[in-house]
Structure 1
Amino acid sequence: MIQSILSNLAIILLGHLTMSTLMSFREHFSKRQISLCIILLFSGVIIAMFYLPIQFGSYRLDLRLIPLIFLALLRGWKITLPVLTIVSFWRFFMGGDGAIPGIIFGMILPTLFTLSFYKPDKARSHLIGRMILISVCWFISDFPIIFILPNGLEIFMDIFWIRYLSFLGTAVIFYLFILLEHKREALKQQLEFLACHDPLTKLLNKNKFTQLVEESLLEVNKTHSISMIDIDHFKQLNDKYGHIAGDQVLMMLARIFKKYENENIKIARYGGEEFILYQRTACFEEAKKLIEEIQNEIRTTLFKIDKNQSIKVSVSIGLAEIEKNTKLEEAIKLADRNLYKAKENGRNQLVVL
């Protein structure tokens, strides 16, 4: 019996390992392909357990419900219902006296009950809440033993503790593995974000910005432009209000930039108080108009540097079009020259030459 329980647990954890490996390469597949793989994987895991039953005297069962519960909790009905349909038909065609009760009470009712608790933004709740839900599902699946089998109450009481503890223990182990995988994935995403973004402003860093812009430049039927943006008198601001206030200004400025960022507009922190902005537009005049709009919003925004004080900030901007057969580096140099002309001419202005 213990060996059969461990075999069921091994199948569940092998399925989890396969799932984790699949998700590590998900960028190579479409969402539809990923969903299909998950459906086939979980169906295979559950069907495999049909053939490795746990024997309690003359009563045979397995832990098929555990992956169904977690699939319902973490993936919702779009993935769970196809899996439930596949394994229910498979179990039906396997036949046997307990097929119908096993399908209805052992899979369908507990899974539908679990799906009623599915919330995409709260897929990972506290362990105690999960264990209560799993206990209810176990009760739904095993309680009919009392009414279906001869001497059902006696059988139920005989197997109660070992059945419940094996079910709950396996569920806890599986859940802990899921939590570890979520933490690993969260750490991976955090590291990937830090590798591509400035840690203070959360804007793109120069390397990622350059990569994205060079990819975008391959579209030849659009106008491409670069803007260099510099905060006016930023050193004096730091000297007067402190570097923490300077950081607050940089972060607020980044939030303004982020409102404009989309697939055609990329913005990065270039260094210090300097930012770089790329646009892919229908014409150069459209690019100039957007830059003027951003500059005007910065002029009219009060930058809060502490609880009781806000200040005005302005920026100088140099704008340059990326001509055909012109390297990105050359366009940046031209935009940078225009920026310095804006600063020489009194700052708080846009220069386009």
Structure 2
Amino acid sequence: MLQSILSNLSIILLMHLIIQALNNYKKHLPNMLYLFLLVMTVSASVITMFYLPIEFEGYRVDLRMIPLIFLAYFGNWRLTLPILLIVCVWRVLIGGVGTIPGILFGMIGPTLLTLAVYKNNKFSSSYLDKILLFTACWFISDFPIIFIIPNGLEIFKSIFFLRYTSLLGAASVLYYFVLMERKRYNLNNQLEFIAWHDSLTKLLNRNKFFEIVEEKRKATNENHYLAMVDLDYFKKLNDTYGHVVGDQILSEIGSIFKNYENEYVKVGRYGGEEFIIYQGHTNFDQAVQYLEAIQKEIRTTPFYIDEDLSTYVTVSIGIAELKKGMNLQEAVKRADQNLYIAKEKGRDQIEASEVHTKRISITVGAE
């Protein structure tokens, strides 16, 4: 019996290991292939346990419900129900005594209960909450024994302790590994964020920004634009209020930029008080309008030095088109040239003379 329990547990942990590997390579797999492999992994694990039953007083069971409950608990119904259907059909094809009760009470009941009660990821729920869930699922699975088979009450009394503790113990072991993987995943995301972002503004650093831009320009033939943004008179601001205030303003401007980011707009800190903006899937007029909106919000936002003192800042912007086949650094150079022109013209402007043969200069002074 112990050997059978350990065999079932080994299958469950192997399933977790494969899922962990799939999640690690998820970014490199097409989404449909990832989902297919995930469905096959969980289905194969449940089906394998059909052939490795655990005998309690001559009554044969297994730990098949554990992968299904975990999937329903941490996943969603779109992924859980197809797997539930696959394993139920397989169990019907195997046939034998107890097929229908095993499907209804051993798989469908616990899975649907979990889906009904837990609609979202519940890492934050208490351990008692999880114990109660597995207790309820165990009860759904085993209590019908009393009514379905001869001498059901005696069999239930003789196996319930070992059956319940084996289910709860195996589930606890799996949850421990899931929790450790979750912590590793969160730590890895934190380390990636630190490696890819500027520590002060929380915007993308220059290297990661260029990497993302290259990926996006390869993914679509739509128009692409780069804009260089520079804070006006930032040295004077630092000299007047100090570098601590200057850093605070840079951080707050970074937050403004973050509000404008989306799938087609990315912002990075280029260095010092300079920022760089990528816009894709747009035309020139829309790109300029987007920059105008950012420029206006920065211009009209009060930056507080202390409770009674605030200041206002403006930005100058140069925009350039990232044309097909153009070197990324060439586009940056053209945007930087336009930024220089915008500053020469009095600052707080958007300059796009390099985008079209006819010079385009947009002055958006304070209203």
CA distance in 1, matches of 2:215, 2:290: 22
Within the alignment, does 1:105 sit opposite 2:105 as a pair?
A: yes
Q: Decide whether aligned partners of structure 1 residues 326 and 68 sit closer, same or farther in structure 2, where only a CA change above 3 A counts.
A: closer
Q: Decide whether aligned partners of structure 1 residues 332 and 35 sit closer, same or farther in structure 2, where only a CA change above 3 A counts.
A: closer
What is the match of residue 39 of structure 2?
Answer: 39
CA offsets 1:56-79 (integer angstroms, 9 cap, x no match): 121111111111100111112111
Within the alignment, does 1:267 sit opposite 2:267 as a pair?
A: yes
After superposition, where does 1:95-134 map in structure 2 within 5 Å? 95-122=95-122, 125-134=125-134
The answer on whether the counterparts of 2:145 and 2:152 sit within 8 Å (CA) in structure 1 is yes
Q: CA deviation at 1:344?
A: 4.8
Q: CA deviation at 1:82?
A: 1.4
Q: Decide whether aligned partners of structure 1 residues 35 and 281 sit closer, same or farther in structure 2, where only a CA change above 3 A counts.
A: closer
Residue 116 of structure 1 aligns to a residue whose secondary structure is helix
Q: CA deviation at 1:132?
A: 1.1
The number of aligned residues is: 353
CA distance in 1, matches of 2:134, 2:181: 20
CA distance in 2, matches of 1:162, 1:219: 56
CA distance in 2, matches of 1:309, 1:132: 56
After superposition, where does 1:193-212 map in structure 2 within 5 Å? 193-212=193-212
Residue 279 of structure 1 aligns to a residue whose secondary structure is strand
The answer on whether the counterparts of 1:201 and 1:269 sit within 8 Å (CA) in structure 2 is yes
CA offsets 1:124-174 (integer angstroms, 9 cap, x no match): 533221111011100111111222232222221222221111110100000
- What RMSD, in angstroms, separates the aligned Cα atoms of the two structures? 2.6
What is the match of residue 228 of structure 2?
Answer: 228
Residue 257 of structure 1 aligns to a residue whose secondary structure is helix
Q: Which moved more, 1:185-194 or 1:278-287?
A: 278-287
Q: Which moved more, 1:257-266 or 1:211-220?
A: 211-220
CA offsets 1:80-115 (integer angstroms, 9 cap, x no match): 111111212222222222222111111111111111
CA offsets 1:286-325 (integer angstroms, 9 cap, x no match): 4444333322221112234555554312122333445676
What is the match of residue 317 of structure 1?
Answer: 317
Q: CA deviation at 1:219?
A: 8.5
What is the match of residue 248 of structure 1?
Answer: 248
CA distance in 2, matches of 1:303, 1:107: 59
Residue 117 of structure 2 aligns to a residue whose secondary structure is coil
What is the match of residue 53 of structure 2?
Answer: 53
The answer on whether the counterparts of 1:231 and 1:273 sit within 8 Å (CA) in structure 2 is yes
Q: Which moved more, 1:110-119 or 1:305-314?
A: 305-314
Residue identity matched to 1:257: F
Within the alignment, does 1:146 sit opposite 2:151 as a pair?
A: no
Within the alignment, does 1:173 sit opposite 2:173 as a pair?
A: yes
CA distance in 2, matches of 1:151, 1:32: 48
The answer on whether the counterparts of 2:74 and 2:121 sit within 8 Å (CA) in structure 1 is no
Within the alignment, does 1:335 sit opposite 2:335 as a pair?
A: yes
The answer on whether the counterparts of 1:206 and 1:269 sit within 8 Å (CA) in structure 2 is yes
The answer on whether the counterparts of 1:319 and 1:335 sit within 8 Å (CA) in structure 2 is yes
The answer on whether the counterparts of 1:222 and 1:282 sit within 8 Å (CA) in structure 2 is yes
The answer on whether the counterparts of 2:206 and 2:269 sit within 8 Å (CA) in structure 1 is yes
CA distance in 2, matches of 1:178, 1:188: 15
What TM-score, normalized by structure 2, do the two folds share? Answer: 0.86
Residue 247 of structure 1 aligns to a residue whose secondary structure is helix
CA distance in 1, matches of 2:114, 2:324: 58
CA distance in 1, matches of 2:64, 2:25: 27
Q: CA deviation at 1:282?
A: 5.8
Q: Decide whether aligned partners of structure 1 residues 186 and 82 sit closer, same or farther in structure 2, where only a CA change above 3 A counts.
A: same
What is the match of residue 82 of structure 2?
Answer: 82
Residue identity matched to 2:62: D
Q: CA deviation at 1:15?
A: 0.6
User: Sequence identity, in percent?
Assistant: 54
Residue 119 of structure 1 aligns to a residue whose secondary structure is coil
Q: CA deviation at 1:221?
A: 6.5
Q: CA deviation at 1:234?
A: 2.7
Residue 120 of structure 1 aligns to a residue whose secondary structure is coil
What is the match of residue 257 of structure 2?
Answer: 257
Q: CA deviation at 1:230?
A: 1.6
Q: Which moved more, 1:67-76 or 1:125-134?
A: 125-134
Residue 55 of structure 1 aligns to a residue whose secondary structure is strand
CA distance in 1, matches of 2:223, 2:92: 62
